[in-house]
Structure 1
Amino acid sequence: MGENFDLQARNKNINDTGLENKRTCDALDSTSPTAKKSKTDEVQIVKNELSGKYVDLLNDRTKDTGEDAENKNYQSNNNLTENDNLVANEHISNKKSDITEVAREITLVEADAAEDKGSRHTMEDAWVVLSDASLGIPGKLRCAHFAIYDGHGGRQAADYARAHLHSNVLSAGLPRELMDIKVAKKAIIDGFRKTDEALLKESAAGGWQDGATAVSVWVLGQMVFIANIGDAKAVLARSTIHNEDEKNLKELSSPLKAIVVTREHKAIYPQERARIQKAGGYVGPNGRLQGRLEVSRAFGDRQFKKIGVSAIPDVHTFELTERENFMILGCDGLWGVFGPTDAVEFVARQLKEGSSTNVACRRLIREAIRERRCKDNCTAILIVFKHQESF
């Protein structure tokens, strides 16, 4: 594997590190049978509520990003299938009880990354896997951060974003004590903007002009936030079983649905093209900005910033329930040879056979390079959600 980045020095295996201490059921065990049953019933009610409330945020993306009508009618413009649509969990607010706190802490997270430069002469991707991304800032909410930066024209922009994005998001006000989705999204967007502004100054001083797309994930408590610019992508594997009456199927193979939880930004897409043209740029017959750059949002790319290239991300969120199994983050090299469903099925087989997160991720990259002949740089991060046993 090539260079990696670990702000915590990663001096022990990620698989030995939980993002948060497991909450046990000692309180239930110490109560009377009657009280225990009551407590259990209340927990189950909350868990059912958590797993049953989903909303589609596709129609709310303009609010999330602040782009004027940027994301309307996205599905038709990008020919997404039903399985590619973003489906996000509705945040359940005003839940103050201890029962809710128990339900919100039933998931542990493991993650690892793998990369291969393919047939390229150099590796221009960079990645971050931080199981504890608090950076010394105390808070009740666990904070984990995972990201892939896909460089083009060099890797200086990718390395800069890798080193600075997360700290900029934290300093912009990422919640650490109490969950506030609007505040978290604003912090992420502000962190992207601040990172790009500083990067542009660095690139001007250093005389470099490369850029980098990005897909990044923050796990705050039981909430997952995904932000992306460009064509790097995240895919969620969610179980299709969601009824408690189907618990007897637990030992069987639960079918998984592959859900794309990011939006690609390419100059050829109508909304992106309109923004580029409004800024004075043009999209050539080859679908590229000024006939050169395929993506319409990226860090860096200093020479294109005044004619439409933006670093404002799309930000989406969902709440972890027992239906969420894992997520795959990948650069465009990975998704050039793997479809979302194909990738989910491949990883699910690896995990079912007992492979660790690390091994499953490495096999995914090996399959992409050796068997499917990916010629591009290829990087993936596998994030596995491990749910504690039902109370």
Structure 2
Amino acid sequence: MKMAAAADLSTPLAILDGKCMGKENGSLSDANNIEDAEEVKSRKPPRHGTLMRHCASTARLEDAGKIDLGIGNLCLQSDSPGPPGFLPVFRSGSCTDIGQKKFMEDEHICVDNLIDHLGVLARIPSPGAFYGVFDGHDGKDAAAFVQKNILNFIIKDDHFPSCIQKAIKSAFVRADYAIADDKSVDNSSGTTALTALIFGRTLHIANVGDCRAVLGKRGRAVELSRDHKPSCNSERLRIEKLGGFIYDGYLNGQLSVARALGDWHMKGPKGSECPLSAEPELQEMTLAEEDEFLIMACDGLWDVMTSQCAVTITRRELIAHNDPEKCSRELVRQALKRKTCDNLTVVVICFSPYPPPRIEVPRSGVRRCVSAEGINLLKGIME
């Protein structure tokens, strides 16, 4: 996320162009690069377990799928949407790079097991996980503050855990106000914020700014957040209604995002509406077995790569080595290869201990001229 004049790359909340820039645009059925092919074929868990963090054992997950935890609307019984007995296993990997910037202003957080992270006395269902990406600007003060405090703001909110979405929304506003009150945080510092809170099969996405969450659904990219660019029509209308303006794609000629936490030099008194909003957009969904992984990244990645391309690369890498950390490193490498101009932060979260199954393309006498990415794009449009 950038403060100076740069080309606006707003993307609607939809399936993006399925074109992948680079040599990685190949058939997903190609198994030539698979390491330890016999292990992949048998779908056994990976042997390099030290690189992956599991939130619970298989036995715990099976038990959790049979009981009602009695936490608000959350119920981990097997009769909820999705295949009977399916419950995701959370494991993640991350990678960051300063890119072509002079300073690193990104922050992120990966918690695969909330019970282990917060303690057994925390008011949370099990299993649970939390992830976040925070793209700072004008220094990293605001990003570091939100990274450190946002999870506590959520779980300590009065609405948690009976109404998790209200708790998340309230926590974002509270974090914004806390930045203004904390004298150790630079008043001009600001940050975007993208979080994913998961309990059982229920995934809650919250977004302020232009980081993006993309779900890998059997090879197809599904965007779960919307980039808050000032030039986005709904954001532009809101900004102008509140007395702001857009100059060269920048809010009030200063900021390349329409929503952010902090930046109190651009905001009015607490509680007042202003063109720069701290209110998150929320998305809730129930994970199914075909939902294989989630990519969360700052705009340093999305400036140079489509959502579908990122999903294709990640799935190919998981089939090869089943390591989300290596996947995040590969996405960062590809973004640097494409000459991204911003800091890079990428988090990959897998929902199964096993690698994704290979997508077999039926063979016929007719030469195939549509790539696997194109097929997934067409599936998304038809659905």
- Normalized per residue, the structure richer in helix is 1
Q: Once the 2 structures are TM-superposed, how far is the Cα of residue 207 of structure 1 from its aligned partner?
A: 4.6
Could you say if the C-alpha distance between residues 337 and 158 of structure 1 is closer, same or farther in structure 2, counting changes exceeding 3 Å? same
2:128 aligned partner: 143
After TM superposition, where is structure 1 displaced by more than 6 Å over at least 4 residues in a row?
Answer: 24-27, 93-96
1:374 aligned partner: 340
Contact 1:118 1:378 (C-alpha < 8 Å) held by counterparts: yes
How many Å separate the matches in 1 of 2:297 and 2:307? 10
Whether 1:226 aligns to 2:230 is: no
Secondary structure of the residue aligned to 1:23 is helix
Secondary structure of the residue aligned to 2:57 is coil
Secondary structure of the residue aligned to 2:349 is strand
Q: Once the 2 structures are TM-superposed, how far is the Cα of residue 337 of structure 1 from its aligned partner?
A: 1.1
Secondary structure of the residue aligned to 1:108 is coil
Q: Once the 2 structures are TM-superposed, how far is the Cα of residue 208 of structure 1 from its aligned partner?
A: 3.0
2:372 aligned partner: none
Could you say if the C-alpha distance between residues 98 and 129 of structure 1 is closer, same or farther in structure 2, counting changes exceeding 3 Å? closer
Could you say if the C-alpha distance between residues 25 and 301 of structure 1 is closer, same or farther in structure 2, counting changes exceeding 3 Å? closer
Q: Once the 2 structures are TM-superposed, how far is the Cα of residue 287 of structure 1 from its aligned partner?
A: 1.9
Q: Once the 2 structures are TM-superposed, how far is the Cα of residue 277 of structure 1 from its aligned partner?
A: 2.3
Whether 1:290 aligns to 2:259 is: no
Cα offsets for 1:28-57 (capped at 9, x unmatched):
xxxxxxxxxxxxxxx9xxxxxxxxxxxxxx
How many Å separate the matches in 2 of 1:96 and 1:207? 43
Secondary structure of the residue aligned to 1:224 is strand
Q: Once the 2 structures are TM-superposed, how far is the Cα of residue 150 of structure 1 from its aligned partner?
A: 0.2
1:87 aligned partner: none
Could you say if the C-alpha distance between residues 267 and 129 of structure 1 is closer, same or farther in structure 2, counting changes exceeding 3 Å? same
Choose the corresponding residue for 1:347, options 290, 314, 319.
314
Whether 1:277 aligns to 2:240 is: yes
1:361 aligned partner: 328
Q: Once the 2 structures are TM-superposed, how far is the Cα of residue 266 of structure 1 from its aligned partner?
A: 1.6
1:155 aligned partner: 140
Secondary structure of the residue aligned to 1:310 is coil
* CA RMSD between the two structures: 2.9
2:359 aligned partner: none
Choose the corresponding residue for 1:121, options 88, 98, 102.
102
Could you say if the C-alpha distance between residues 220 and 293 of structure 1 is closer, same or farther in structure 2, counting changes exceeding 3 Å? same
1:107 aligned partner: 88
1:337 aligned partner: 304
Choose the corresponding residue for 1:258, options 209, 216, 221.
221
How many Å separate the matches in 1 of 2:61 and 2:140? 48
Q: Once the 2 structures are TM-superposed, how far is the Cα of residue 206 of structure 1 from its aligned partner?
A: 5.0
Choose the corresponding residue for 2:230, options 264, 267, 272.
267
Contact 2:78 2:85 (C-alpha < 8 Å) held by counterparts: no
Q: Once the 2 structures are TM-superposed, how far is the Cα of residue 124 of structure 1 from its aligned partner?
A: 0.4
Q: Once the 2 structures are TM-superposed, how far is the Cα of residue 175 of structure 1 from its aligned partner?
A: 4.9
How many Å separate the matches in 2 of 1:25 and 1:115? 31
Unaligned stretches of 5+ residues in structure 1: 1-12, 28-42, 44-92, 240-255
Cα offsets for 1:156-207 (capped at 9, x unmatched):
010000011110011115655xxx6xx111011011011111112225x655
Q: Once the 2 structures are TM-superposed, how far is the Cα of residue 278 of structure 1 from its aligned partner?
A: 2.6
Please tell me the residue identity of whatever aligns with 2:245: Y
How many Å separate the matches in 2 of 1:199 and 1:26? 41
Secondary structure of the residue aligned to 1:192 is helix
Could you say if the C-alpha distance between residues 229 and 24 of structure 1 is closer, same or farther in structure 2, counting changes exceeding 3 Å? closer
Cα offsets for 1:344-369 (capped at 9, x unmatched):
11111111112411111111111211
Contact 1:15 1:110 (C-alpha < 8 Å) held by counterparts: no
Please tell me the residue identity of whatever aligns with 1:23: A
Q: Once the 2 structures are TM-superposed, how far is the Cα of residue 274 of structure 1 from its aligned partner?
A: 2.3
Q: TM-score, normalised by structure 1?
A: 0.68
Contact 2:125 2:199 (C-alpha < 8 Å) held by counterparts: no
Secondary structure of the residue aligned to 1:199 is helix
Unaligned stretches of 5+ residues in structure 2: 1-48, 67-72, 269-273, 356-383
1:321 aligned partner: 288
Q: Once the 2 structures are TM-superposed, how far is the Cα of residue 300 of structure 1 from its aligned partner?
A: 0.4
Cα offsets for 1:95-117 (capped at 9, x unmatched):
78676699465320111110000
Could you say if the C-alpha distance between residues 353 and 189 of structure 1 is closer, same or farther in structure 2, counting changes exceeding 3 Å? same
Could you say if the C-alpha distance between residues 262 and 320 of structure 1 is closer, same or farther in structure 2, counting changes exceeding 3 Å? same
Please tell me the residue identity of whatever aligns with 1:381: V
Whether 1:21 aligns to 2:1 is: no
Contact 1:118 1:374 (C-alpha < 8 Å) held by counterparts: yes
Q: Once the 2 structures are TM-superposed, how far is the Cα of residue 280 of structure 1 from its aligned partner?
A: 2.2
2:25 aligned partner: none
**Aligned residues between the structures:** 290
Cα offsets for 1:66-87 (capped at 9, x unmatched):
xxxxxxxxxxxxxxxxxxxxxx
Please tell me the residue identity of whatever aligns with 1:184: I
2:349 aligned partner: 383
Please tell me the residue identity of whatever aligns with 1:112: G
Contact 1:322 1:387 (C-alpha < 8 Å) held by counterparts: no
State percent identity of aligned pairs.
28
Q: Once the 2 structures are TM-superposed, how far is the Cα of residue 271 of structure 1 from its aligned partner?
A: 2.0
Whether 1:213 aligns to 2:198 is: no
Please tell me the residue identity of whatever aligns with 1:218: L
